[in-house]
Structure 1
Amino acid sequence: MTVLVLGATGLTGSQVVRGLLERAEVRRVVAPVRRETGLSHTKLDQPLVDFDAMDSQAELFAVDAIICCLGTTIKKAGSQEQFRKVDYGYSLKAAELGRLAGARALILMSAVGTSATSSIFYNRVKGELEEAVRGLGYPYLSIYHPGLLLGQRQEQRTAEALGIKAMPLLNRLLLGPLEPYRGIEAATVARAMVNEVCELAVNADRASGQQDWTHRDICRLAGD
């Protein structure tokens, strides 16, 4: 199987790439990036891409499956408009190009609490993206809805850092219907995504339908 990973330099995406490279089910990993990452592997292809002109490199998206972990923050993006451009625009364009090129599976990182009608901008953009990709006709679509992602980021996110410190206590209180809001290690999400796409490679007959995963599902897929 050939798998393309969007967001390959991010907290979760970088671990997805490394995980895929270790799996015999994966023949090739395509990880479009803006800049060189320094990671090298015989199965890894890291083409430099202008995400504003992905159409010009549409051949990169001729893969079996796409794992999209692309995402930013409003603070890092600089504005709501730029945030939407990355989280919605780039992700959707990549998914469209993949489907047009014959990709049969899409695994998308979203977030808990998303809705296209949410009054919260972040949740609304994520929800609108989910609705858009559901209409692309992927034979297999899997959408992840994790809570706060835990792990060591390259950049500082003050609000998230405070949340991460509080999560061990909060997780004990998030029970029953609140369980999906538990914080979760990015490494756990990455393992789940790698396991899922490799299962599709082995059992192609199961590669159909639409899945929505929350905290407990993700932990199960990761083998935790």
Structure 2
Amino acid sequence: MNPKTAILIGATGLTGGILLTLLLKDSSYSKIKIFGRNSCQKSHPKIEEHLGDLFKLETFAEAFKGDVVFCCIGTTKAKTPNKETYKKIDCGIPVAAAKLAKRNKIETFEVISVLGADVNSNTFYNSVKGEMERDVLAIGLKNSYIFQPSLIGGDRDEKRLGEKIAQVSFKFFDFVIVNKYKMIAAETIAKAMLLVAKNGYEETRIESHQIKNISDRG
């Protein structure tokens, strides 16, 4: 089997950073092309970084070539209070990446969304993710996989007080929370993304409990 090239967007985030570590250890991939605004701060022969404005992702078209795209980009209300900018990050960047994947004949595209994503949701965050899912799927890539985790657990560099409180609450009440809504570790998501890229999956949208099952079986 010829070694593959992975494209990773969001390598400086929690899940993206863990996924990067897994990709570097995986002999199936000989190159990881990272697209971002800031450096991942890692030096490795496999890594090829492309830094710039992700709102203008099309400017990277020539370099945006590989076998699979992993899109782990995302922000929060606290980090990005402006709704227009928020939408450009959580919807605009993944959709632009999917369009480039289609243009450059990349067959597999994976993106992190959220459990409850719905274009008609009254919750702004969920509606934006719903728009992203709709627009990505409309592009018509051969293999599109949308990961819909519940609250993601893990240690982030930046402080997110509200998220930290939610994580503690989820852990405390874990025994009464339905599996679908249980907090899920970032490591679990990253592992599942890698496994689905290799083995495929029978569904396009992969909910939180399914993500955990994939990771556990792998």
Q: Residue 37 of structure 1 aligns with which residue?
A: 40
Secondary structure of 1:61's counterpart equals: coil
1:188 aligns with 2:191: no
Distance 1:216 1:57 in 2: 35
Secondary structure of 1:142's counterpart equals: strand
Q: Residue 21 of structure 1 aligns with which residue?
A: 24
Question: What is the identity, as a one-letter code, of the residue corresponding to 1:213?
Answer: I
Secondary structure of 2:118's counterpart equals: coil
Distance 2:93 2:209 in 1: 29
Q: Contact (CA 8 Å) 1:25, 1:198: kept in 2 or not?
A: no
Q: Comparing both structures, which one devotes a greater share of its residues to helix? A: 1
1:98 aligns with 2:104: no
1:211 aligns with 2:214: no
Distance 1:73 1:48 in 2: 22
1:158 aligns with 2:161: yes
Question: What is the identity, as a one-letter code, of the residue corresponding to 1:219?
Answer: K
**TM-fit CA distance, 1:138:** 0.8
Alignment match of 1:74 (pick from 62, 73, 77): 77
Q: Comparing both structures, which one devotes a greater share of its residues to strand? A: 2
Secondary structure of 1:19's counterpart equals: helix
**TM-fit CA distance, 1:37:** 2.6
Question: What is the identity, as a one-letter code, of the residue corresponding to 1:217?
Answer: Q
Distance 1:57 1:215 in 2: 32
Question: What is the identity, as a one-letter code, of the residue corresponding to 2:103?
Answer: L
Alignment match of 1:169 (pick from 157, 172, 182): 172
Q: Contact (CA 8 Å) 1:107, 1:141: kept in 2 or not?
A: yes
Q: For 1:105-125, what per-residue CA distance to the aligned partner results, in whole angstroms no more than 9, with x for missing partners?
A: 111100011100000000000
Distance 2:7 2:61 in 1: 12
Q: For 1:48-103, what per-residue CA distance to the aligned partner results, in whole angstroms no more than 9, with x for missing partners?
A: 12112222211122111111110001221131111001111111111111111111
112-121 or 23-32, which moves further after superposition?
23-32
Secondary structure of 1:47's counterpart equals: strand
Q: Residue 133 of structure 1 aligns with which residue?
A: 136
Q: Residue 61 of structure 1 aligns with which residue?
A: 64
Distance 2:47 2:190 in 1: 17
Unaligned runs of 5+ in 2: none
For the aligned residue pairs, the C-alpha RMSD in angstroms reads 1.5
52-61 or 179-188, which moves further after superposition?
52-61
**TM-fit CA distance, 1:210:** 4.9
Q: Residue 216 of structure 2 aligns with which residue?
A: 223
Question: What is the identity, as a one-letter code, of the residue corresponding to 1:17?
Answer: L
TM-score, normalisation: structure 1: 0.91
Distance 1:56 1:215 in 2: 34
Q: Contact (CA 8 Å) 1:140, 1:210: kept in 2 or not?
A: no
Q: Contact (CA 8 Å) 2:8, 2:70: kept in 1 or not?
A: yes
Unaligned runs of 5+ in 1: 201-205
Distance 2:57 2:207 in 1: 30
